[in-house]
Amino acid sequence: MSDSQNPDEDTLKILLATDIHLGYNEKHPVREDDSFVAFEEILKHAVEQEVDIVLLGGDLFHDSKPSTTAIVRCSEIIRRYCFGDKPVGIEFLSDQSYIFKNLRNPIVNYEDPNINVSIPIFSIHGNHDDPTGSKATSVMDIFSSNGLINYFGYWTDLKQVQVAPILLTKGETNLALYGLSHIHDQRLSRLFRDGKVSLLRPQEEDVFHLFVLHQNRAFRGANNYIPETSIPDFIDLAVWGHEHDCRIMPEEQLNGVYITQPGSSVATSLSEGESKKKHVGLLKVKKRAFELTPIPLKSVRPFVFETVRLEELSDLQEKGIIKYSEHTERVVSDKIDSIIERIKNERKAQKLKEMLPLIRIVLLYHDEQQQINAIRFSQSYVDLVANPEDMILQKPIIKTDGTKRNRYLTGDDTTYEVETEADRTEMLNSLVNKELEKDSNKKLKILSVVAMGEAIARVINNDDADAIADIIDFQMKAAQEKLSSLGMDENNFVELLEQLNQQRMEEAANEKAEVDKLLSNPKRSYNKAVIDDEDDDVDDIPAVNTSTSVSPQKPARGRGSRGPRGSRGPRGPRGSRAKKT
């Protein structure tokens, strides 16, 4: 079937997936295999769908230096599904020594005569598997050097970014694949703002432009995310990694770019976003048209996120309830039992094997007397739930006054009118940065518990033996500076913080940023910390911005002018938008 009747001969098929986080929770008694099982399912779909390539959006691994077992399991899975005699039907037209210039083996794996690749995997790195240490290496280099993954999009010049695409051709379809591995969000957002990011658009007209990146998409403080409209408008489709909630159906942006956000294949935090159904995408590109079909992942552990808002004490008293804690336990256990039952029935209906679910109950209480002993309570769920240890999260309900501050916080699904660390941190990032932009002399230099904690984490995780000494040295100097400057900037600043009644939180957040900044100073040969935070956002607390002179600019644009978008059809059912020509 090599004649023109073959409908596939011009259709480039790509399996899209991201944030597979191999090795996540691999020591957990129940969840240890989850990340690997999902990866295996993803590559099975690649084989079944006979895709030409697999494209990953970063964070294939949960750590830059994963466990031996994680590396071994990844090798085994890739060799099982992506090696074989099936010929690869695409041509690689770019200069490989340029595209893979940061790699030691600058060749696309399926052209290596000594390995028999059936489905090449292309991947950028994310913020979890990014290069660390004095030699700036990560597990991605291991999988590049052994020929199992084509690792691309790694950019070292952080003053300006130029992305040269990989040009792939299949029949009459030409694909320009632009990869941008993770860069610190604040830095990259500034580069975008200053027009320092360019995607080197090929001169050919009949090219489909596919961009893959791994950045904050959701607002996490001013300059701490990449606005969707930063993507140059000649890009046809952007694959957005890093965000774990599945928004895989392509969404058209104001500038005409479509964005697909596949989301993670394993829940690495018990947030509401992670509880959405997990998918990967089958992307078919034919000339300039594309069609994206979501493929639900069946092997992923079910995860139910629910919020239980308790009644006020006065309402309970009216009903004659006075043992508040006992009452809470009854309410919560009824809720959990019904979730477990529902999951069981759903899986039975779908003919899926039984699997302990992940459950997160956010318990909103009015009064401390309503709290329960979550540890004792969870013990009866050990054989019923995958995560009894962190199933219950209790939060106080705070009375709010409906001011701007609260409206400001309601942008995100997962934000309640309660005080959480994430809420405080997010708000503070914005406010502190805003304050600092007014006066660039203001710097927060109070490092203490967080700094030492970070330093110890680096010693343990990264063999960075000098971290503690360097931090102490830095702290002493910072404290001296702070004392001498006290009285002028500090008062304004304290005022601002007192107004928010959150000084402690803010210091901690900024300490973390200062420590990150210090330890990622290129003059020091430091590794980036690999800290097993449940909440990824913590990694992204901004470094203190000391620059005020840079004027905002328009987002960068590609060289050529935008062609007519008429070659794109309207969005069909299930995301199908292809114009059948």
Amino acid at 520: S
Q: Which is nearer to a copy of itself, 438 or 523 (CB)?
A: 523
In the complex, the smallest distance separating the C-beta of residue 400 from a copy of itself, rounded to whole angstroms, is 40
Question: How far, in Å, CA of 281 to CA of 279, rounded?
Answer: 7
Question: How far, in Å, CA of 523 to CA of 509, rounded?
Answer: 24
Strands 166-170 and 173-180: antiparallel
Q: Which positions from 406 to 445 touch a copy of itself by CB under 8 A, shown as an x/- string?
A: ----------------------------------------
Backbone angles phi, psi at 307, to 5 degrees: -105, 130
Contact predicate 201/234, CB 8 Å:
yes
Contact predicate 124/179, CB 8 Å:
yes
In the complex, the smallest distance separating the C-beta of residue 139 from a copy of itself, rounded to whole angstroms, is 7
Q: Which is nearer to a copy of itself, 132 or 429 (CB)?
A: 132
Of 21, 62, 125, 128, the catalytic one is 128
- Measured CA to CA in angstroms, residue 493 lies from 44, 439, 483, 497, 500 at distances of 56, 11, 14, 6, 11
In the complex, the smallest distance separating the C-beta of residue 133 from a copy of itself, rounded to whole angstroms, is 7
Residue 104 found at the interface with a copy of itself (CB under 8 A): yes
Residue 83 found at the interface with a copy of itself (CB under 8 A): yes
Residue 449 found at the interface with a copy of itself (CB under 8 A): no
Q: Which is nearer to a copy of itself, 65 or 182 (CB)?
A: 65
E-state strands within 392-467:
392-396
Tokens of 435: 């304050």
In the complex, the smallest distance separating the C-beta of residue 519 from a copy of itself, rounded to whole angstroms, is 17
Tokens of 323: 């043992």
Q: Which is nearer to a copy of itself, 394 or 461 (CB)?
A: 461
Contact predicate 250/292, CB 8 Å:
yes
- Which of 7, 48, 91, 115 binds a copy of itself (CB under 8 A)? It is 115
Question: How far, in Å, CA of 274 to CA of 56, rounded?
Answer: 18
Tokens of 362: 């956010």
* β-strand partners of 576: 291
Only segment of 81-89, 295-303, 353-361, 436-444 that touches a copy of itself (CB under 8 A) = 81-89
Tokens of 538: 């913590």
- Which of 48, 50, 76, 204 binds a copy of itself (CB under 8 A)? It is 76
Residue 85 found at the interface with a copy of itself (CB under 8 A): yes
Whether 125 is a known active-site residue: answer: no
Q: Going by C-beta distance under 8 Å and a sequence separation of 6 or more, which residues neighbour residue 67?
A: 23, 26
- 573 by Cβ neighbours in 10 Å (0-12 / 13-18 / 19+) ranks as exposed
Only segment of 75-83, 264-272, 367-375, 385-393 that touches a copy of itself (CB under 8 A) = 75-83
Residue 235 found at the interface with a copy of itself (CB under 8 A): no
Residue 96 found at the interface with a copy of itself (CB under 8 A): no
In the complex, the smallest distance separating the C-beta of residue 528 from a copy of itself, rounded to whole angstroms, is 13
Question: How far, in Å, CA of 264 to CA of 35, rounded?
Answer: 10
- Which of 49, 69, 96, 430 binds a copy of itself (CB under 8 A)? It is 69
Residue 471 found at the interface with a copy of itself (CB under 8 A): no
Q: Which positions from 24 to 63 touch a copy of itself by CB under 8 A, shown as an x/- string?
A: ---x------------------------------------
- Which of 71, 210, 339, 391 binds a copy of itself (CB under 8 A)? It is 71
- Which of 48, 95, 111, 116 binds a copy of itself (CB under 8 A)? It is 116
Residue 156 found at the interface with a copy of itself (CB under 8 A): no
DSSP-derived letter for residue 165 is P
Residue 102 found at the interface with a copy of itself (CB under 8 A): no
Report helix, strand or coil for 151. Answer: strand
Residue 126 found at the interface with a copy of itself (CB under 8 A): no
Question: How far, in Å, CA of 341 to CA of 310, rounded?
Answer: 22
In the complex, the smallest distance separating the C-beta of residue 298 from a copy of itself, rounded to whole angstroms, is 24
Site residue total, a copy of itself (CB under 8 A) = 39
Tokens of 388: 């009894």
Contact predicate 70/61, CB 8 Å:
yes
Amino acid at 460: I
Q: Containing H/E element for 499?
A: helix 489-500
Residue 150 found at the interface with a copy of itself (CB under 8 A): no
Q: Which is nearer to a copy of itself, 1 or 465 (CB)?
A: 465
E-state strands within 431-516:
none
Residues designated catalytic: 128
What is the binding site for a copy of itself (CB under 8 A)?
Answer: 27, 64-65, 67-69, 71-73, 75-76, 79, 83-85, 104-105, 113-116, 133-135, 137-139, 141-142, 144-148, 459-461, 463, 465
